[in-house]
Amino acid sequence: MSDIDGLLALIPVGDIARKLGISEDVAQGAVAQVVPTLLGGMAANAKDDSGAASLEKALSRHAGVFPGTSVSEVDTADGEKIVSNVFGSKKNDVVAAVASTGDSTITQDIIARILPIVAPIVIGWLASQFLGGKQAEPAKPAAAPAPSGGIGDLLGGLLGGSLGGSKGGAGGGDLIGSVLGGLLGGGKR
């Protein structure tokens, strides 16, 4: 099982389906599209030093704060902030592009409603992977560029090695390339 498959297994697909009034198959398909898209957006932002520093700061704020396995335990207001930080002004374009790449039953509305539910789970999980269960350290001043390694490498490893075989796999790696490549480039703006 890949790391992304492990992350997908943590997402309460049944709860999401019930909350949105959709079938579990549609919810599963949408989640399988949303998770790599969020990770891809984070990776695009982490390509520059300020984006990587911003993401690392967000991860330190979410260290040890892993949402439960119920939608009722997810802070969707925080999820909206995460989605806005990841995609910036391109959020609606990303939602439209993701919806257009999959099953026709996965609409823009479904993608837009699932993103803020899934985003806190993804960032909590990513914080646990990146920080390895360590307590968050105080944010360091941005005096020096981030050393190689870091969050960009973690995201690159997740995206490069895991997407092709992830659940719902409608071309996960192709999805990120086609959806995010032109929209986000090296960052969200």
Counts of helices then strands in the chain (DSSP H, E):
9, 0
Which has more pLDDT, 152 or 36? 36
pLDDT digits (tens, 9 = 90+) for 98-136: 999 877 899 999 999 999 999 999 888 888 877 765 444
CA atoms within 13 A on the CB side of 148: 0
What 8-state DSSP symbol labels residue 107? -
Of 3, 119, 141, nearest to 62 by C-alpha is 119
User: Rounded distance, CA 97 to CA 94, Å?
Assistant: 5
Q: What is the pTM of this model?
A: 0.74
Confidence of residue 159 (pLDDT cuts 50, 70, 90): low
What's the confidence (pLDDT) of residue 165?
A: 35
Return the minimum-mean-pLDDT range out of 35-39, 154-158, 182-186: 182-186
Q: How large is the average pLDDT for residues 93-100?
A: 92
